[in-house]
Chain A
Amino acid sequence: MVNRVVVGAHYGLRDWLVQRITAVVMAVCSVALAGYLLWKGRFDYDVWTGLFASQTVRTFSLLFLLSLFYHAWIGMRDIVMDYVKHAGVRLAIHTLAILALLLYVIWSVQILWGM
Chain B
Amino acid sequence: MNKPRPKHLALHLIKLPLPGIVSILHRISGLLLFVALPLLLLMLQYSLRSIETYSQLQEALAHPLAKLVMIGLLWAFLQHFCAGLRYLAIDLHRVRNLAQARNSSKVVMAASIALTVLIGAKLW
B19 at the A/B interface (Cβ < 8 Å)? no
Please give, as numbers and ranges, the residues of chain B lying within 8 Å of A11 by CB-CB distance. none
Given the interface pairs A20-B91, A27-B84, the reply to whether A72 lies near B37 with Cβ below 8 Å is: yes
A18 at the A/B interface (Cβ < 8 Å)? no
Please give, as numbers and ranges, the residues of chain B lying within 8 Å of A79 by CB-CB distance. 27, 30-31
B31, B48, B85, B88, most chain A CB atoms within 10 A: B48
Bound: A48/B48 CA distance, A? 7
Is the Cβ of A48 less than 8 Å from the Cβ of B47? yes
Count of A-B residue pairs with CB < 8 Å:
47
Bound: A56/B39 CA distance, A? 25
Please give, as numbers and ranges, the residues of chain A lying within 8 Å of B81 by CB-CB distance. 27, 30
Please give, as numbers and ranges, the residues of chain B lying within 8 Å of A115 by CB-CB distance. 48-49
| 9-residue interface stretch from A2-10, A84-92, A103-111 | A103-111
A75 at the A/B interface (Cβ < 8 Å)? yes
Contact indicator per residue, chain A 1-41, by CB within 8 Å of chain B (1) or not (0)? 00000000000000000001001100100100000000000
User: For chain A residues 48-103, which have a beta carbon within 8 Å of chain B?
Assistant: 48-49, 52, 68, 72, 75-76, 79, 97, 100
B124 at the A/B interface (Cβ < 8 Å)? no
Contact indicator per residue, chain B 34-66, by CB within 8 Å of chain A (1) or not (0)? 100110010011011101001000000000000
Bound: A100/B45 CA distance, A? 17
Is the Cβ of A76 less than 8 Å from the Cβ of B37? no
Please give, as numbers and ranges, the residues of chain A lying within 8 Å of B31 by CB-CB distance. 75-76, 79
Bound: A91/B34 CA distance, A? 18
Is the Cβ of A45 less than 8 Å from the Cβ of B34? no
Is the Cβ of A45 less than 8 Å from the Cβ of B51? yes
Q: Which residues of B contact A (CB under 8 A)?
A: 27, 30-31, 33-34, 37-38, 41, 44-45, 47-49, 51, 54, 81, 84-85, 88, 91
Q: Which residues of A contact B (CB under 8 A)?
A: 20, 23-24, 27, 30, 45, 48-49, 52, 68, 72, 75-76, 79, 97, 100, 104, 107-108, 110-112, 115
The 6 closest A-B pairs by CB, nearest first: A111-B45, A45-B54, A75-B30, A72-B34, A23-B84, A45-B51
Give me 20 other A-B pairs in contact (C-beta within 8 A), A30-B81, A112-B48 excluded.
A20-B88, A23-B84, A23-B88, A27-B81, A45-B51, A48-B47, A48-B48, A68-B37, A72-B33, A72-B37, A75-B27, A76-B34, A79-B30, A100-B37, A107-B41, A108-B41, A111-B44, A111-B45, A111-B48, A115-B48
